[in-house]
Chains A and B, each alone.
Chain A
Amino acid sequence: MAPKTLTAADLGPKETDQAYLCAKCGMCLQVCPTYQLTGREAMCPRGRVQLLRGLLESRLELTDNLRDMIYTCCGCNACYVNCPSGVDVEKLINEARAAMRAKGVELPAGQEAMRSRLADVSNPFGLDRAERAAWLPPELRKPRTAETCLFMGCSISFANNKTGKTILRILEKAGVDFMLLGEEEECCGDPLVRIGETQLAEAMIERNQARFRRYGVRRIVTPCAGCVKSFRRHYGGFESRHLVEWIADLIDEGQIKPRKPVGRKVIYFDGCDMGRQLGIYEPPRRILRAIPGIELIEYDKSREFGQCCGGPLISYDPEMASAVSAQRVAEAAEKGAETIAAACPTCFLNLRSGGQASGQRIDVQDVMALLYRSLKGD
């Protein structure tokens, strides 16, 4: 039987202090995607932090329900930027999940299924390992020694290789040198860190790092925001960039020249990892502004106050994930946007499904797809 408690010793002094820093003012309520959806205090940052405090003080038992509340947090940290006391909720929740796992608390069913898919086939979709590189041109399927690695990430490799192919075409036009891990690539480890599955994550991270070292990689570029976050937090000895940072520079340097007009009213969606976690606000906007014909508009809440699409829930609670993203799609439609542009593949997938669920006639595109339209025939 699983232990029914969590102590300050389990959580560690730093995170315990974070839980006590919460003044319960409630400034986080209205910015929390799961609270917006449910209106339940137990599904908002203050509620989750207080539940943890209740556990630490032995005023609550670690029930399955309590565990589930801790696991519904998207980790978007919109609460953090609105918190007068500066509680880093995402970190606190991740540490609490890790502490629960360390005590042998079972994962909720959805997360457990994802964990087992990642353990078996190194991608959260549970698809055959061979599919990761099957869509790549044969010469890119196997790694070679190069300074720059384009780390494709699971979302693009398994669920959106159309964007993957577009990225390859854009980089070909730019004439830059890079390699892919291809068949050898594995999940970056971030989804496992998010569910508190530290050991499995560390093993995966170490295997990827060994590959980078083997092929002389010094710089990792990836179209996935979660991967960049993971590289910066958990990997050592490599420079890591999001693809949009590289592409924006290549446009400035004149190596990529968007010429064909793309007559769309586009709203840029600041993902949580892209924005609050990595601070990458300008590069995707620079790319969109460089495309002739695009009218770039903004959400009422953008940049560090941008709202989560619910994407992190996609692997274990797709219904809630798409209910959250439907709200973001509706807000874009209200602003008069024709296209939502995303630079994070998780946001892209989730906004697409939310768009379908909400029935809005609005198009969701990756920034790279819009750029490529402007390069076609060039």
Chain B
Amino acid sequence: MSALVGLDVSIRERLRGIVGAEHYSDAAEDLYCASYDATLEQARPEAVVYPASADEISRILRLANEAGFAVTPRGSGTGLSGASIPVAGGVVLILTRLNRLLEINADDLYAIAEPGVITQTLADAVAKQGLLYPPDPGSMKSSTLGGNVAMNAGGLRGLKYGVTADYVMGLEVVLPTGEIIRTGAYPVKSVSGYDMTRLMVGSEGTLGVFTKMVMKLVPRPEHCESMLAVFADMAAAAETVSAIIRAGVIPATLEFLDNVTINCVEDFKHVGLPRSAEAILLIETDGVREAAQREAEKIVAICHGHRAAEVRRAADAAERDRIWEARRAALSALSRVRPTTILEDATVPRSRIPEMVAGVRKIAATYNLQIGIFGHAGDGNLHPTIQTDQRDTEEMARVEKAVDEIFALALSLQGTITGEHGVGLVKAKYLKDEFGEEGVRAMRAIKRALDPNNVLNPGKMFR
């Protein structure tokens, strides 16, 4: 692969010509503002462009191949892995102008959106038609759908409804070399060719730039039930999670807060959670009213049968809101304790959660760090959240070691280094720990086949 070059005057001129002068910038402030996401990583590009069509993106990528500069796609920049940070300089492709919701089809249950559509906007629009777009990443009020697809974002409903990948039926993609292709199909069933859609989803902007996305929708459940269960020990909470699944109930959400998180939430919001509790589970069932209610009854009984100190079931919307306030406040509460918050997403099979929580606690003690854990207990996707200060270099060195150990721990428990945030920049060095050299080599071969000059989002996923 040839080395990438910087942008000379003539390239800048041609970029301006493609997107229009007002949608091109190399002002220091705009470059700085494209240099970060929600991680601590940072790198400035040499130019930012705001293209408005697949054709413009195609021309930019052809130019990148011809001249040899890097192109990094970016949505709202809310990522938690550094995938949109332009580590190789070059051009940042900001996709927020491609923000049309093109179609909602209630008969065939899909929506067609451009990548810059905000996830919440899609969710709200389909809700008006009695439909549900299930993936609900925590950033959905700001994140773009294109970013969600590129990172295969998860969310609270993962256990029952799956993740973004389960809702992508087809894509229009500009390949790294500039060709525009279509993947997938509109029918529910389609087995023609390689499953290019699945390959593109979660490719973190390294294999193509999405310009249209066909997203699957489902009917909106008519009813939901919310419960909160308090546990004096972690093992009891984990057994409860397993017992619920064994009983044949798949809750829509099954969330978990540990003791550190509970106390931070209490300090911040005074929700009335018992400070001595080791774990709290927040559980929701949904579907046909009678079914959701019967499942809720089963869950309440299981919680009682597994040494829950207290079980609350919301009688109305107001109570439901109170129950969920603790979960909604979790990240805010953890974020306010120290200036810097590092949110990880190491994930293990749900039966290994007690080992994972105990292991993270031990790591926190070893490195003298405060780490709160909350997350999606139902799918084993935990968020060990490190409270620190990035200006304290000595502490940050300990943080780095702790993070290394957290990932090693997750892998030792048959887990994965990332459940929903992606590899990007920050987890690239761990990828071979999960898949081995050969696994990573196979992935690199795909990347090389589609992006021979390595112009599209170089430096990500692989190290």
Contact = CB atoms under 8 A, between A and B. Distances in A.
B336 interface: yes
A177 to B, nearest CB: 43
A59 interface: yes
A26 B143 contact: yes
B335 A27 contact: no
Nearest to B50: A39
Contacts of B331: 84
B61 to A, nearest CB: 22
A86 B339 CA distance: 11
B390 interface: yes
Interface string A22-61: 0111111110000000011110000100110010000111
Interface in B69-117: 76-78, 94, 96-97
A66 interface: yes
A300 to B, nearest CB: 9
Contact of B78 (A25, A63, A86): A25
B335 A84 contact: yes
B78 A26 contact: yes
A42 B35 CA distance: 11
A85 B336 contact: yes
Contact of A50 (B32, B94, B335, B340): B32
Contact of B339 (A17, A27, A82): A17
A20 interface: yes
A69 interface: yes
Given A26-B78, A84-B332, A86-B332, A63 B142 contact: no
Given A30-B141, A85-B332, A20 B32 contact: no
B118 interface: yes
Contacts of B37: 24
Given A27-B139, A30-B142, A39 B96 contact: yes
A20 B139 contact: no
A26 B38 contact: yes
B340 A20 contact: yes
A365 to B, nearest CB: 30
Contact of B29 (A23, A25, A42, A82): A42
A360 interface: no
B341 A63 contact: no
Interface residues of B, number: 34
Contacts of B341: 23, 85
B51 to A, nearest CB: 13
Nearest to A84: B332
Contacts of A85: 332, 335-336, 341
A51 B339 CA distance: 17
A293 B27 CA distance: 55
A54 B35 CA distance: 11
Given A27-B142, A39-B50, A47 B33 contact: yes
Interface of B is mostly: loop
A24 B39 CA distance: 8
A24 B50 CA distance: 21
B56 interface: no
B246 interface: no
A323 to B, nearest CB: 16
A356 B425 CA distance: 49
Contact of A86 (B27, B139, B336): B336
B391 interface: yes
Nearest to A18: B339
B407 interface: no
B28 interface: yes
Given A27-B142, A41-B34, A65 B29 contact: yes
B36 interface: yes
Contacts of B141: 27, 30, 82
A21 interface: yes
B266 interface: no
B29 A60 contact: yes
B425 to A, nearest CB: 14
Contact of A66 (B29, B76, B143): B29
Nearest to B74: A41
Nearest to B333: A84
A26 B142 contact: yes
A29 B76 CA distance: 8
A56 to B, nearest CB: 11
5 contacts: A24-B39, A25-B38, A25-B142, A39-B96, A51-B33
Given A41-B77, A47-B33, 17 more contacts: A20-B390, A21-B335, A23-B38, A24-B38, A24-B77, A26-B38, A27-B142, A28-B142, A29-B76, A29-B142, A41-B30, A42-B32, A50-B32, A66-B29, A82-B141, A84-B331, A85-B336
Interface of A: 17, 20-21, 23-30, 39-42, 47, 50-51, 54, 59-61, 63, 65-66, 69, 82, 84-86
The 8 closest A-B pairs by CB, nearest first: A41-B33, A26-B78, A84-B332, A26-B142, A85-B335, A20-B339, A42-B33, A47-B33
